[in-house]
Each structure stands twice: as structure tokens, then as C-alpha cells.
Amino acid sequence: MSRELTDVLHDRALMALRSHLRAERYHASMGHFEAGDPVTHAGYEGRLLAMEWVGAISAEEVASWRQRLHEAASWREPPREPPARAVRERAIAHLEERIAPLSPSMRDGFVACIGAIVAYEQTGVLMAEEALAWRERLRARIDMEPERPPRCSRRDLVRVLPGPPERIRGLRVTTVELYADGVVVRWHDAQRRPDASGTPRIWSDTDRQTAGHGDPYLGGLSDDLGTRYIGGGGPDLGINGGWKVRFGSSSFTPAFPNGARRLTVAYEGSDFEIEL
Amino acid sequence: MSERLELFLEDHVDDHAGHDYAAAIEALLAAGILSMERAESWKAEHARLSASRHHFQGPYDEELEARAVELLEALFAPVRPLASDEWDPAVFQRYQEALSALRVIGALSLERARPWLELQHATLTPPGGRPEPEPEPEMPFAAGELSAVLAGPAGRLDGMRVTSLELYGDCVIVRFHQLLPPEPADPVERRELVSSPFELEDEAGTPYRPALVPEPRGCRRREPKGWPEALVGWQAFVPGVPLDARTLTVGWRERRWLTSIG
């Protein structure tokens, strides 16, 4: 076996073992398995034996990883120690420096900034809510929609508007509900989509299982006053096995403002217009 | 912080979470919680692993595959079918994880692994084969042809507002928005508030009946989690509204809403 192949096998084995270690810690922290479960241990032994057998890891590494996997089975998240003041100040200065050059037309450093925020959050330099605030600030800086958009509470219903009668590629807006803190657009999708062979078919169980990824996306909401709506909370589908259609709703914030007269719902390159 | 730091450095070195590892290392250096020497060491490890990731589909070494198969033969020999009295989950798990590890590290191609995967599948198959999946439950309506959407009356009675009625060829869907009072202590009263069914009638006497959907995500009215301030939902009725009907009356507890059909 060539030296190069041995190195590649070794690296892949380490990646696989680290992945197992993460999984074991996760299961332990969630209380999924009991530490010392003989079947789980037999699984460790199978993995380690196979890796050693083909020369991916040494006998010493097997012993070390066996120990680590066993310890991971009873892992608990370490307590959070507040960072030293100087560490925190340096971290915040680093983030400020990283974020400063970013703008809607200069997004190149976005991923690196996220990497820095994640590092500070996971090592305990930033609390989870502080890290979220940094991510939101970063997204706002490059004009990206917030990670946690405000949600329409659907509590104070002000008015219900019937949607227009037309359909766009099978989709019809049935009603628009105006709430004190947002807008909910309800839709009915009677589009028949072809399967891989191009044959029209009805919605199936598979559609239902993958619905989370295949929702009819409304392209966005706008009004005649230029309000900038943000979609928050995806469509809640009412689909079911054997149905030929789907229906659901999409919610937006903020509320429809006083004085506005027209709402426009974008869908697949066309618009539904709803007049008050 | 040191344990968290160690976990972070090792957990992310293979890029499994898709973050920018180099930027993370730079940030930890800048905060002064990672030494330059260790930062360089982890960056080198990251670079090496990143290169290995690009070779995941082979090439496979024949001699290595033969050796892998030799191990699988030895590990599978004591495995007994799940349905037998001699089934030992630990023995099976050891074999299964070894096979998985050999595939993951690239010591065994899918082609050479396939017979072993089939053996594994056969071991877990109950006698007489796997049962056929349950047929899809039959839906009581299709809601395919939407003929009209009627806005519900603006009034709210006992906290309940009918927001709209959707008239389909084979059903009617009543949508509602309910503002709930403070949660009653009495569980019966609580259930009545959130689970009382609607009724539907027209002047032609059509016998509408609630259409329960045999699936948890459908229109069956379920009790909410906790006690929200507002409930938004819907209930379906069959059959569809006949062409000559002119009004629809929605009932809920003692309340009635009259809606004109255009």
C-alpha cells in the first residue's frame, strides 16, 4: 500500500472517528443511550477493528480512540465560565474590525465573520443571544434578511380581503388577512406537476414528505407605499395523501400600513394584485 | 473555556459544519485564547483533511479491498438472522459498523460492499419478507375545484370570527380566527372552547357533515399546545354547496353566522 494511500486512509479514519465522537457526545447530552451499552460498544469495536485491520490507524490510536469514545458516552456539556474581560474586549474589537468593511456591495467577508462569531460563541466568549445579535447586525450590514425575522402573531385580526379569482400556474390567492403586526396570505395550489418521466400525476405521499422543500414559494409581498415586507414563518401546508392540491399560508411582517390601497403578491415572475 | 476551546478546534477541523475554519482560528488568536503555535498546527491539520475530502470516491486499492473482505467474512460468520433465537445485536452491530467504517474511509468500493450490504439487509428481513406499507388513507374530499371564496362576517361572537368560506366542488372549508379568554381551570370548559365543532347549513337543507381527515396534519381540530391568545384554523364539510344555494349559515356552539353566496 502506498504511503499516499495510507495517509488518505488515516485522514478519513480520523474524520470518521471525530464524527462518531460528536455523535456520541450529542446522544449522551440528550440522554439517548445509557453509558456502557454493550451494543454501542460492540459498534465502536467494529469500527476501530476495521480501521486498524486495513492499516488506517495504529494500535496505539485504537486504544486512544476507544477511550475517547467510551468517555464520550457519558459526556456532559462543560459549565460556561465567563471569559476574562481582556479576552472579551479583544474579541469584540476583532469582530468590529471584521464587520466594518462590509456593505451591501461588499459581502466578501461575510462567511469569515460568521466563522469568527461561531468560534466565539462555541468557546464561551459570547453568549448565544450575543452571538445572534452579532449575526443579525452582520446580516443587516449587507442588507440580508434577518436570521430571526419578526413573526406575525396572527392575534389581532383587522380585516380579511378576498384574493383575486385568477390563478398563476395553478396557484390562487384565496384570502389576505391583515393583522395588527403582519399580513397572512392564504393560497390554494391546484398545479399538476409532471414527474421525472413528464407524465402528469397527482400529489403523492412523496410530495407530502418533501413538502418542506417544495412549498409553493411566494416571491414576496409589496404595497403601493413601498413597505418592505419580510417573510417569516413558512407556509403551513394542509396537504394530504391522495389530494391533487395543496393549500396553506405564508406570513409577512410588518403590518399593512394605514393609507396603503394595494397589495401585490409575487409568484413565479407574475403578480397577484389585491385592491382594498 | 479551555475544554470548550479544545472541543471547538477538533470538532470543526473537518469543516463538517461548513464554517470558515481559518477565520475562526484567526478570531481565537485575536482574542488571545489560542497560541500562534497551536493555531498553525490546527490550520495545517485542517488543510490536510480538506485535501483528503476530495478523494472520497476512490480510487480503491484491490489488495486493500481483499483484506477488507477477509475481515467482513470473519465478522459476519457469527451473525444470525434477526428472526432467529440466536440473534445477538452486539455481534451484528460490530459487523455492521465495521462494514460502514470500511466504506467511509474508502477501503471498500460500493461494488465490493454491495453483496455485504445485501447480506446485512437479508439478516434483518423478517421471515416471509417485509410487510407491504399501509395504503394511503382515502381522503373524504379533493378540494380541487375552487368555485368561490366568501369573506366571513366581520363580527366576532364569543371570541370567534369566521374569516372565510372556501367553496370547492366537493367540500366547503370554513376558516376561523378565535381569540381565547384566560385559560379556564375546568378541563371540560377548556376543551369546549378549543374543540367545539362547527356546523354548516344552507336554506336548501343540504346535509353537510364534518369531514375528518385521516392524517394528523389535516383539518382535524386538535387541542392547542399550551393556551395561546389566538387560535387560527379550519374545518372541512362535505358535500360541496349545491348550485342553487343562496346562503350559508355557520354555527359554533350557540352562535350563528349568515353568509350570502354572491
| Distance of residue B114 Cα from the nearest chain A Cα, in angstroms | 17
Mean pLDDT by groups of 10 residues along chain B of 262 residues: 87 81 96 95 89 67 94 96 91 96 93 95 84 71 85 91 93 94 90 90 95 57 75 92 93 92 80
User: Is the same domain home to A251 and A183?
Assistant: yes
Please, what's the b/e burial string for A65-101 (b: 16 or more CB within 10 A of its CB; e: otherwise)?
beebbeebbebeeeeeeebeeebbebbbebbeebbee
**What are the grid coordinates assigned to A2, written together?**
502506498
Using CB atoms and an 8 Å cut-off, which of residues 74-133 of chain A contact chain B?
78, 80-81, 83, 86-88, 90-91, 93-95, 98, 111-116, 118-120, 122-125
CA atoms within 13 A on the CB side of A229: 30
What is the crossing angle of helices B36-53 and A3-30, to 10°? Answer: 110
Residues B16 and B94 in one domain: no
For an interface test with B, which of A20, A41, A53 has the most B Cβ atoms less than 10 Å from its Cβ?
Answer: A53
All residues at 6 or more sequence positions from B254 whose CB lies less than 8 Å from its CB, including other chains: none
Q: Is A134 within the bounds of a domain?
A: yes
DSSP one-letter string for A76-105: -PPPPPPPPHHHHHHHHHHHHHHHTT-BTT
Contact check, Cβ <8 Å, B143/A124 = no
In a domain, B150, yes or no: yes
Q: How many folded domains does chain A comprise?
A: 3
Residue B179 in grid coordinates: 381569540
Contacts of A124 in chain B (CB under 8 A): 1, 4
Residues A134 and A59 in one domain: no
- Please report whether residue B136 resides in a domain: no
Following CA atoms B135, B140, B145, B148 in sequence, which dihedral angle do they give, to the nearest 10 degrees?
Answer: -150
The verdict on residue B131 lying in a domain is no
**CB within 8 Å of A268: residues ≥ 6 apart:** A168, A169, A171, A219
- Cβ atoms of A160 and A139 within 8 Å: the answer is no
* Residue B35 DSSP one-character state: -
CB pair distance less than 8 Å for B151 and A242: no
Q: Where are the alpha helices (DSSP H) in chain B?
A: 2-11, 21-31, 36-53, 62-76, 89-104, 110-124, 187-195
Whether B32 and A116 lie within 8 Å, measured CB to CB: no
* CA neighbor of B164 nearest in space, from B233, B221, B217: B233
Instruction: List all residues 6 or more positions away from A201 whose beta carbon is below 8 Å from its beta carbon.
Output: A192, A193, A194, A195
For residue A219, give how far its alpha carbon lies from the nearest alpha carbon of chain B (Å).
Answer: 23
Whether residues A13 and A39 share a domain: the answer is yes
Residue among A183, A206, A203 nearest A247 (CA): A203
Q: For residue B174, is it within any domain?
A: yes
Check whether residue B32 and residue B92 sit in a common domain.
Answer: no
Subunit contact B102:A54, Cβ cutoff 8 A: yes
CA atoms within 13 A on the CB side of A22: 17
- State which H helix or E strand residue A107 sits in: none
Interface touch A122/B143, C-beta < 8 Å = no
The reply to whether B211 falls in a domain is yes
A209 contact residues in B (CB cutoff 8 A): none
Report how many domains make up chain B. Answer: 3
Residues of A in contact with B18 (CB under 8 A): none
Work out the minimum CA distance from B257 to partner chain A, whole angstroms.
16
Residues A268 and A216 in one domain: yes
What is the span of the domain harbouring residue B81?
A: 62-124
Give dist(CA B211, CA A208) in Å, integer: 20
Q: Could B93 and A175 be called an inter-chain contact, meaning their C-beta atoms sit closer than 8 Å?
A: no
**Coil vs helix vs strand at A2:** coil
Domain-embedded: residue A220? yes
> Which residues are registered as beta bridge partners of A273?
A264
CATH code where residue B158 lies: 2.60.40
Residues A168 and A125 in one domain: no
Q: Which residue has the cell 410487510?
A: B131
Identify any residues that bridge with B177 across adjacent strands, giving them in sequence order.
B161, B232
A262-276, pLDDT tens digit by residue?
A: 999 998 889 999 998
Q: What is the pLDDT of residue A207?
A: 41
Cβ pair A240:B229 closer than 8 A:
no
A94–B138 CB contact, under 8 Å: no
Low-confidence ranges of chain A (pLDDT < 70): 1, 33-35, 191-217, 232-245
Residues of A whose CB is below 8 A from B104:
12, 16
Same domain, B253 and B150: yes
The answer to whether residue A265 sits within a structural domain is yes
The CATH code of the domain that includes A262 is 2.60.40
Cβ–Cβ < 8 Å for B148, B262: yes
pTM over 0.95: no
Domain limits at A256? 157-275
Q: Is residue A21 part of a domain?
A: yes
| pLDDT at site A74 | 86
In a domain, A79, yes or no: no
Nearest to B32 among A22, A41, A87 (CB): A87
CB contact under 8 A, A154 and B177: yes
CA angle A260, A261, A263 (to 5 degrees): 90
Instruction: Judge if B250 and B192 occupy the same domain.
Output: yes
- Check if A12 contacts B (Cβ < 8 Å): yes
Tally C-beta pairs within 8 A across A and B: 239
- The string of DSSP codes covering A146-215 is PSS-------SEEEEEEPPS--BTTEEEEEEEEETTEEEEEEEE----B-TTS-B----HHHHHTHHHH-
Q: In chain A, whose CA is at the least distance from the CA of B160? A: A157
Task: Give domain status of residue A77, yes or no.
Answer: no
**A113 neighbourhood in chain B, CB within 8 Å:** 23
